[in-house]
Structure 1
Amino acid sequence: MRAFQQAGVYLPRNTRAQWDATTRVPLSQLQPGDLVFWSNNGQRSGIYHVAIYTGSGMRLHAPTPGKTVEEVPMWHVNIMPYGGRI
């Protein structure tokens, strides 16, 4: 949310609202800057984490409050089949 805010783009704070505010994009068509979501039940109601896709199978994510944001490989366990494009 803050990264997009710095670029002048409004994005809601929580993960489910971010899902609602974006356009669905198949994972195979992700572009840098798209959001990727993880869900414990494969549906919007179970979304618990979001990250920014950076390209080449990598993502930016904030692991927990107070931890440093880091670029790490994509994690495909519990990933939603679609990303979100602003």
Structure 2
Amino acid sequence: MTRNWLRLAELIALVALGGGLLVLCGMMISQDKMGEAFGTALLAFGSIVQAIRNQSQAHAMNAMADHLAKSVPAREDAEERMP
């Protein structure tokens, strides 16, 4: 799998996990366990949102590293010529 497919698979898995937790919270609410459902939702959704942010940040860092790997270093004598 390429990086793009892995990122897409991770994102789909995180969204599916969030959907599953919504279903779980709905079941807990139907059984009159509102406190447990609220705590589960707060803990889990915070972690899922942070994982998505980390994934986006990793993508940006990889893109920057690829860009820097393709760049040409400046010559040392070019700095001496600048006023």
TM-score (normalised: structure 2):
0.23
Structure showing greater Rg: 2
Greater strand fraction, Structure 1 or Structure 2: 1
Quick one: higher RCO (CA 8 Å, sep 6+), 1 or 2? Answer: 1
Tell me which protein shows more helix as a share of its residues. 2
TM-score, scaled to structure 1: 0.22
